[in-house]
Structure 1
Amino acid sequence: MTSPRIALATCSTFPDLDADDAPVLAALADRGVDAVAAVWDDAEVDWSTFDLVVVRNTWDYSPRREEFLAWAEALPAVANPASVLAWNTDKAYLRELAAAGLPTVPTIWLDPARNLTSRAVHTRFPATGHFVIKPTVSAGAKDVGRYDANEADQRGLAIVHARDLLRAGRHVMIQPYLSRVDTAGETGLVYVDGEFSHSVRKGPLLEGPYRGVEGLFKPEEMTAREATDEERAIADRVVKTLPDVVPGAGDGPLLYTRVDLLQGPDGAPVVLEVELTEPSLFLSFADGALDRFADAVARRVGA
């Protein structure tokens, strides 16, 4: 009997997968699955030979989003599904989550088609406090900056940042900087096949105005964390809501979901992002997480 074949899709910077995902290969081999790492844009890879492609470290996709989505759409079988990737790779999805009644970070949206003047951009900024500018299509905190609304020079830098993104045809998000992240960090809750697996703490990333990022992403400071009951309740609501708002998410549980939460001004958790495309799952941070993920992948190919 031929073993099922699975590709864990990655990028050329991590051709053998990153340190967190690499152990998945051996775990799948223990389950009778022939699993290999494969670079998503490598023209030499015959994707038709795989029973399933699992999207993992494809962290260079955002400048070539349409190419990436076309690749995913052409695969015989991919997890998460291509329609889910298309929805999730533009952070405008936060609008749909908010409309569904989920607590999200308040966001102002700027459309490049409106040809906003510098003054018009300026009027969209908060009057006080710190705020964040980011493009709706991005990954790894690239092209993201934090600004102080009370400092004229920083407002000027923010205008330049936003206008540069808009002139490049990119949609822009403006969000308040939720200062509790400086002490509490973010909480990332990982779900495997729709079931809660584990949670982690992510340290704050944004220190000031946009300066560019070397490499594919900003390094993250990660530690294990037990999510609070309130955080679990919000993340569970997100997972339960996804089939109603995400094309293709109602066909069965998604292989992986990561819900990233911040504390709002009153301490209540709010949704910063929902990662369904290529999130780090931090499998090494919780006992049993690697096995839970490998079991879920193996089930999908009947192993």
Structure 2
Amino acid sequence: MTAASPAGAHCPSLLLVTDLAYEARGRRYCDEDIYLSSRLREAFDVALCHPRDAAALLAGFDTVLVRNSGPVLHYREAYDAFLVRARELGTAVYNPLGGRGDMAGKEYLVEMSAAGLPVIPTVDGAAGLAELPDVAQYVVKPKLGADSVGLRFVTAVEARAELEAAAEGSLLVQPRIGFRHEVSFYFVDHDFQYALYAPDPERRWVLEPYAASAEDLEFARRFIAWNTLDHGIQRVDACRTADGALLLVELEDLNPYLSLDRVGEDVREAFVARLTTSIASLPR
């Protein structure tokens, strides 16, 4: 735990960007950010703001921490203004804005699939559908989506029709595959913190602590290394297939929900301490 600063001592200022009113299925995002803001006040002068207000407030803070701010699709213009303003000011943003995962859209899934990485096969054009496994249903989702916004299950014929009708490269298509469970690996910088999994595939957010094996961590670290972010929180989401292999579902590097209420107090304390150190060490 980071000790509180003496009375009157100056603390670095931190703007925590969050949408406390955002309603997510099966989770209360606001509780997590209220908790984090209370703990980060031990090391920083903290203020909270909605993502639509962030661009106008950047100049008054040393660091901006983007947390549970919801899918960017809901406030695209405000987010783009935030990016422009942060780069103009040279603001220290956490996570840094050079992420190659979901921060930049889901194009990386297409690139990884083409490169043969262990990811659910993914294409973004009708011509690529023949490269996917022949299954009963396919998943269609927008490249700029998050939190299952816009996700649909369709037939092969419907998938082709949607790709042909949509703006070029705006949608992804994947086979709907059976799997044993989903598992998420949480990192601060390149340091593994904890893992959680959903034993029931039909209840994605009913999570339990997961004891990651050496092979599991080798899988997850492969994607953390690929992303090349020196600072930041990253969540590697994967599914375990019927044959026991792990496939990447998503590399979340923008505002990953942390499910801190699902871990023990010792794990939660260690995470907060590591996050505080990481934010404090962010180059400015």
TM bin, normalised by shorter chain, reads: 0.7 to 0.9
The residue number in structure 2 matching 1:259 is 236
The residue number in structure 2 matching 1:188 is 184
Q: Which runs of 5+ in 1 are unaligned?
A: 111-115, 148-153, 207-218, 244-248
In the alignment, is the contact (CA less than 8 A) between 1:8 and 1:56 conserved in 2? yes
CA RMSD of aligned residues (A): 3.3
1:24 CA displacement: 0.9
Residue 239 of structure 2: SS of its match in structure 1? strand
The superposition leaves residues 44-83 of structure 1 with CA deviations (integer Å, 9 ceiling, x where unpaired) of 9522121111111111412444641430342311111122
Amino acid in structure 2 at the alignment position of 1:84? G
Amino acid in structure 2 at the alignment position of 1:171? S
- Residues 23, 171 of structure 1: alpha-carbon distance in 2 compared, 3 angstrom cutoff: same
1:21 has 2:33 as partner: yes
Higher relative contact order (CA 8 A, sep 6+): 1
1:82 has 2:82 as partner: no
Amino acid in structure 1 at the alignment position of 2:175? P
Mean Cα deviation higher: 271-280 or 155-164: 155-164
Scaled by the length of structure 2, the TM-score of the pair is 0.78
1:234 has 2:226 as partner: no
The superposition leaves residues 244-265 of structure 1 with CA deviations (integer Å, 9 ceiling, x where unpaired) of xxxxx2xxx2220100111235
Mean Cα deviation higher: 8-17 or 83-92: 8-17
The residue number in structure 2 matching 1:281 is 258
1:294 has 2:275 as partner: no
In the alignment, is the contact (CA less than 8 A) between 2:17 and 2:49 conserved in 1? yes
Scaled by the length of structure 1, the TM-score of the pair is 0.74
1:10 has 2:18 as partner: yes
In the alignment, is the contact (CA less than 8 A) between 1:80 and 1:256 conserved in 2? yes
In 2: Cα distance, 1:66 partner to 1:227 partner: 39
- Residues 60, 136 of structure 1: alpha-carbon distance in 2 compared, 3 angstrom cutoff: closer
Residue 238 of structure 2: SS of its match in structure 1? strand
In 2: Cα distance, 1:239 partner to 1:122 partner: 28
Amino acid in structure 1 at the alignment position of 2:176? Y
Equivalent residue in structure 2 for 1:136, among 112, 133, 143: 143
- Residues 86, 103 of structure 1: alpha-carbon distance in 2 compared, 3 angstrom cutoff: closer
1:140 CA displacement: 0.7
- Equivalences for residues 87-166 of structure 1 within 5 A: 88-98=103-113, 102-110=117-125, 127-147=134-154, 154-155=155-156, 157-158=158-159, 161-162=162-163, 166=166
